[in-house]
Amino acid sequence: MSRIILGIDPGFAILGWGIIESKDGSRNIENVQWGAILTKSGEPIEERILKVYQELKTIIDLYKPNEIVMEKVFFNNNAKTIIGVAQIQGIVFLLSAIMNLPIFQYTPLQAKSALTGYGVANKQQVQNMLKLVLKLEDFPRPDDAADAVALAFCHLQTKKYL
């Protein structure tokens, strides 16, 4: 049975997403697609949230993932960032519930460890491993999309042992 995983790197200005597929439970993992949902800081908040909701729902309808994986976000002292990302996370949780899709969360450290074997790997190391493991011609862009693909890969690697 094929498993299609939607990875999400939640962000208010840029939401990175990536779809990967594992066929027949094998180690044969294929990249399907990646991208980013962009919103403009000058737009009203409700329009930005609606845009993320609509575009993410379209992605789910198009690729029909079995599971959603979202980055578990930690915050420093930027309250503005906390609120925006929390609002986007709420959209992802809402879509997960509406579409009856299980959702899982992993920290960046977990995603980097699953992909590179090193929890504090830099962006270049993560991108190099994504390119190698998924047999890509180029790196997922923007970086938020690469992070989303790494999260999806982490889930496939971790879920085998749950």
Q: Among candidates 158, 161, 150, 162, which has minimal Cα distance to 8?
A: 150
CA dist., res. 2 & res. 136, Å (int): 20
Kindly calculate the radius of gyration of the chain based on its CA atoms and give it in whole angstroms.
15
> Which of the following is catalytic: 61, 71, 137, 143?
71
Phi, psi of 21 (to 5 degrees): -135, 135
CA dist., res. 107 & res. 110, Å (int): 5
CA dist., res. 149 & res. 133, Å (int): 11
* Structural contact between residues 63 and 32, judged by C-beta atoms closer than 8 angstroms: yes
> Which of the following is catalytic: 21, 67, 144, 147?
144
Catalytic (active site) residue 144: yes
> Which of the following is catalytic: 9, 21, 67, 147?
9
Q: Point out the residues that are catalytic.
A: 9, 71, 144
